[in-house]
Amino acid sequence: MELEGVLAELRGSFESGRTRSLSWRQSQLRALSDILHKEEEGIFRVLKADLGKHQAEAYLHEVGSSIKSLNHAIKNVKRWMAPTKAVVPMVAFPTSAEVLPEPLGVVLIFSCWNFPIGLSLEPLIGAISAGNAVVLKPSELAPASSNFLANNISKYLDNKAIKVIEGGPDVGEQLLEHKWDKIFFTGSPRVGRIVMTAAAKHLTPVVLELGGKCPAIFDSLSSSRDRKMAVERVVGGKWGPCSGQTCIAIDYLLVEEKFAPILVDLLKETIRRFFVRPDYISRIINRQNFERLSNLLKDPSVAASIVHGGSLDSEKLSIEPTILIDPPLDAEIMTEEIFGPLLPIITLKKIEESIEFIRARPKPLVIYGFTNDEKLKRRIIAETSSGAVVFNDAIIQYLLETIPFGGVGQSGFGQYHGKFSFDIFSHGKAVAGRTFLIEFSFRYPPWNERKLQL
């Protein structure tokens, strides 16, 4: 079917009102849940094919997290749909007022390749919960996952109202020529700009879930138990999910000079313990990204700063977990988002300098802080700006549906997860009503001095 035909069908389904009912929304969310349960093996297979993801990693970061989000939405969608009563000021007495969430219409979701299932389903859950008709365009760079979504979403869900359209930038551009009621985009700032420019033509609101460099301030924790746990969380958070190809992965560490050698030893030991087999770590998505990452290491002064790893296998597209100490701050590895398994450590005289370091750069999606120093925590929260601040762990915030997920400044705008996903795909319609019980004539002309004194 031509794109015009697809869009007309979706518009027709939305206009018919079928996507608005609670039962439709819940049935579609349950159908998504069925896909995750019944087609789990297929998901493991496609994630292996696209990214070499181990089954345990695939379950933890894509299947399990999506099931959790679905259960939350199925349980709460009725409550989310209910109008919220508003307090009415005395001056308007007697008036009833409420905010009624209404679906936006036909929405477009672009997803990314690093969590090709999870990052497609997470916004889709929000769009369905809010009662919209949807087009999902997965990333062409994870073709097996894209194909899996196209086949299974059309098999399990109402495909007169929910469609997957596969393809690359050309298809993306065609989609952007049309009028949507919202565009939800996960990807790079470069394509984010293309999306926003195209959306402006139709005055379509957009959500941009972008990336950037997420710093982690690593304080010299005094207890060896805390240190060990913190280092495991750094290694797990940096290389665990998709080998660092994660928007919320730690991009670089900020550490006091005197503590850096101790930290490097702990990191090396943990990496050796965690990644005992090569298939415990995902590979790089494609040759282009492999080359991009290899080039980051080619600069001689960057290469000289490698203290662990650095070996690359261009056939398997795998890169060893790599640690660098103090690469030049003007090298690309420190000016561009890494989005891969390389971890620069930047040393500072005092850990407090990390705040200035972060403030001097674009606002990140997340700032991580590994510290027990309450004063430092308060300063990080108060003196920096980022989509989120997370202390003493990494990635965990993705699972907390009660706090919003999203960026600020260069890391994007618009927040989702849990009820925030419902809200971002809804319009909060203001509904006010009065009765004819009573009237105050001071509101009307003729104006006179007495009315001014009221």
The reply on whether position 209 binds ligand NAD by CB under 6 A is yes
Q: 30-33: long-range contacts at Cβ-Cβ below 8 A with a sequence spacing of 24 or more? A: 30/74, 31/156, 31/157, 31/158, 32/66, 32/70, 32/121, 32/124, 32/125, 32/128, 32/156, 32/157, 33/67, 33/70, 33/71, 33/74
- From candidates 27, 55, 188, 385, binder to ligand NAD by CB under 6 A: 188
- From candidates 145, 186, 270, 397, binder to ligand NAD by CB under 6 A: 186
Is 449 catalytic? The answer is: no
The reply on whether position 172 binds ligand NAD by CB under 6 A is yes
Q: What is the 3-state composition of the chain as percent helix, strand, coil, each rounded to the nearest 5?
A: 50, 20, 35
Q: Shortest Cβ distance from residue 138 to ligand NAD (Å)?
A: 6
Q: Shortest Cβ distance from residue 184 to ligand NAD (Å)?
A: 10
- From candidates 210, 234, 271, 281, binder to ligand NAD by CB under 6 A: 210
Residue with tokens 């195209």: 198
- Note whether 123 and 417 are within 8 A (CB): no
- From candidates 116, 211, 321, 344, binder to ligand NAD by CB under 6 A: 211
Q: CB-wise, 211 or 321, nearer to ligand NAD?
A: 211
Active-site entry in 247, 256, 337, 401: 247
- Classify residue 107 by its DSSP letter: E
Dig out the tokens for 391 from the structure.
């202390």
Quote the Cα angle for 322-323-328, to 5°. 115
Alpha helices in 130-188 (DSSP H): 143-156, 169-176
Alpha helices in 360-414 (DSSP H): 374-383
The reply on whether position 112 binds ligand NAD by CB under 6 A is yes
Active-site entry in 57, 62, 122, 209: 209
- Distance between CA 194 and CA 208 in Å, rounded? 11
- Classify residue 59 by its DSSP letter: I
**Strand, coil or helix: what is 240?**
coil
Cis peptide before 446 (omega within 30 of 0): yes
Stretch that binds ligand NAD, among 29-37, 71-79, 205-213, 255-263 (CB under 6 A): 205-213
Q: CB-wise, 94 or 168, nearer to ligand NAD?
A: 168
The reply on whether position 169 binds ligand NAD by CB under 6 A is yes
Beta carbons within 8 Å of 230's beta carbon, 6+ residues apart: 218, 221, 370, 392
The reply on whether position 57 binds ligand NAD by CB under 6 A is no
- From candidates 103, 116, 123, 187, binder to ligand NAD by CB under 6 A: 187
Q: CB-wise, 118 or 321, nearer to ligand NAD?
A: 118
Q: For ligand NAD, which residue has the nearest CB?
A: 211
The reply on whether position 146 binds ligand NAD by CB under 6 A is no
Residue 148 to residues 49, 60, 144, 249, 353, Cα–Cα distance (Å): 12, 19, 6, 26, 47
- From candidates 168, 261, 278, 428, binder to ligand NAD by CB under 6 A: 168
Residue with tokens 């990390």: 354
Q: CB-wise, 183 or 325, nearer to ligand NAD?
A: 183
Q: CB-wise, 137 or 182, nearer to ligand NAD?
A: 137
Length of the chain: 454
The reply on whether position 94 binds ligand NAD by CB under 6 A is no
- From candidates 337, 363, 366, 371, binder to ligand NAD by CB under 6 A: 337
Positive or negative torsion for Cα 60, 62, 65, 67 = negative
The reply on whether position 137 binds ligand NAD by CB under 6 A is yes
The reply on whether position 76 binds ligand NAD by CB under 6 A is no
The reply on whether position 110 binds ligand NAD by CB under 6 A is yes
Stretch that binds ligand NAD, among 27-35, 125-133, 209-217, 424-432 (CB under 6 A): 209-217
Q: Shortest Cβ distance from residue 170 to ligand NAD (Å)?
A: 8
The reply on whether position 247 binds ligand NAD by CB under 6 A is yes
Q: Shortest Cβ distance from residue 120 to ligand NAD (Å)?
A: 9
Is 247 catalytic? The answer is: yes
Query: Around 53, how many Cα atoms within 13 Å sit in the side-chain half-sphere?
Result: 32
CA-CA-CA-CA dihedral for 105, 109, 115, 118, to nearest 10: 10
- Distance between CA 14 and CA 133 in Å, rounded? 6
- Note whether 375 and 258 are within 8 A (CB): no
The reply on whether position 204 binds ligand NAD by CB under 6 A is no
Q: Which of residues 263-322 bind ligand NAD (CB under 6 A)?
A: none
> Which residue type is seen at 57?
E
The reply on whether position 173 binds ligand NAD by CB under 6 A is yes
Stretch that binds ligand NAD, among 95-103, 147-155, 181-189, 275-283 (CB under 6 A): 181-189
Closest Cα to residue 24, out of 159, 131, 181, 114? 131
Residue 326 to residues 212, 229, 243, Cα–Cα distance (Å): 19, 24, 21
The reply on whether position 363 binds ligand NAD by CB under 6 A is no
Interacting residue ranges for ligand NAD, rule: CB under 6 A: 110-114, 119, 137, 139-140, 168-169, 172-173, 176, 186-188, 191, 194, 209-211, 247, 337, 339, 365, 412
Catalytic site positions: 209, 247
